[in-house]
Amino acid sequence: MAAVRRLGRLVPLGAAAIAIVAIVAAGGCAASGATSPSAPATTGEVVPAVHRGPQGDGGQFVVKCGYSHSATDDPIVHPGMAGMSHRHDFFGNTATSSTSTAASLLGGDTTCNLRLDTAAYWAPSLIDHGTPVTPLGAVIYYRPAPGVDPSTLTPYPTGLMMLSGEPTATTPEPVEIAGWACGTSSDLRSQPPVCDPASPLQVRITFPDCWDGEHLDSPDHRAHLTRTQDGRCPASHPVVLPQLTVTIRYPISGAGHELELASGSTFGAHADFLNAWDEHELAEQVELCLHRSAVCSVASNRGQAAPIG
C-alpha cells in the first residue's frame, strides 16, 4: 500500500519520537492456547495463554523502564563471574552486575517510572550488522494470565529469579513465550519481521506464573517455576504469580538489517528477571490493581504517528 509506505517514511520524528512511544503488548498472540501441541521441545515448558486484544479489560499495572546499561554479566546464570556471559542490556535497577542480589539491588536507583521498582530486567543485546543496537526502552506488564482468578495472585518473593525463552534455540520456539513483533501488533513471529518506522521492532517475553513456593532459583533456573494451564497452577508449583510480560523496543525498522542476538540466533530470544521490587510497593500494586481488577495504568501507543491537521 503505497500511501502507507510513504506515510511511514515521511515521519521525521525519528528515534527521539519513537523513544517515548509506549508500546502496547496487549496483543498477544498466535492462535495456540495453553494446551497448544506446539510445546517447545528444548525446554519442555508449557506454552502460556497470553493476552490478546486491547488493554483496559482486566486488572494490570505497567512499568516503563528506560535502557540502563549493557554488560557481559548475568547474575542468575553466572553469579559473581563478571564478563562470563554474552552481552546483556539491562533495564530497571541501574546497578545490576554479575554480583547483584536482591539485597544489593533493593533501595537502588532505577530507570523505571515507578521509582520503587528496583528490580533487574535484562535480555541479550540485539546486534545489527555486528553492532549492538541501543534499545529504546522496555514496557513491563503485570497481569493475571488469561483464565486466572486474580484474587489468587501472590506477589513475587523478593529475590525470585526467573528466566524465560530458550537462549540456545536455533529453530522456532513458541511465540507466546518469546516473540518478535512490529510495534504493538498481536502478530508475533519467531523471527524479527520487517517493520514500518511508525511501529518499530520489539521483542515480547512472557514469564512463568507458577512457583513452587520454596526456591528462589534452581540449578537450571527454571525448575522452580512453570506456567498456568487453563488458569491453574499444578500441585508441584501451587503459588500463582502475576504473568510478567517484558517488551523491549528497538529503533529498528525497514529492510536491510542483519539481526542476531548476543546469545546467538534471533530464535533464541529470552529475558531474565531478578525481583528486587520494594516489597511493600509490589504487594500494594498486586492487591490494589490485580486483586481488585483495576486498570492502574495502560501503556498506550498514542505516541505513534498520526496524520493530524
Of the ranges 113-121, 159-167, 203-211, 220-228, which one interacts with another protein (CB under 8 A)? Answer: 113-121
Buried b (16+ CB within 10 A) or exposed e, 32-70: bbbeeeebbeebebbbbbbbeeebeebbbbbbbbbbbeb
* Binding track, positions 138-167, relative to another protein; x by CB under 8 A: -----------xxxx---------------
Q: How many residues bind another protein (CB under 8 A)?
A: 70
Q: What is residue 204's three-state secondary structure?
A: strand
- As given in the structure block, the three cell numbers for residue 84 are 562470563
Q: Which of 93, 100, 199, 243 binds another protein (CB under 8 A)?
A: 199
Chain centroid to CA 119:
13
The verdict on 255 binding another protein (CB under 8 A) reads: no
The verdict on 239 binding another protein (CB under 8 A) reads: no
Least separation in angstroms between CB 226 and another protein:
22
For residues 75, 77, 81, 83, the Cα torsion angle rounded to the nearest 10 degrees is -90
Residues 6+ apart with CB under 8 A from 265: 169, 170
Q: Could you tell me if 288 and 52 are in contact, meaning their C-beta atoms sit under 8 angstroms apart?
A: no
Q: Could you tell me if 29 and 189 are in contact, meaning their C-beta atoms sit under 8 angstroms apart?
A: no
* Binding track, positions 49-88, relative to another protein; x by CB under 8 A: ---xxxxxxxx-----------------------------
- Considering only residues 267 through 286, tell me which ones interact with another protein, judged by CB under 8 A: 280, 283-284
The verdict on 228 binding another protein (CB under 8 A) reads: no
Residues of this chain that bind another protein (CB under 8 A): 1, 3-4, 6-8, 10-13, 16-17, 20-21, 24, 26-27, 29-31, 52-59, 113-116, 149-152, 181-187, 196, 198-199, 280, 283-284, 287-289, 291-298, 300-309
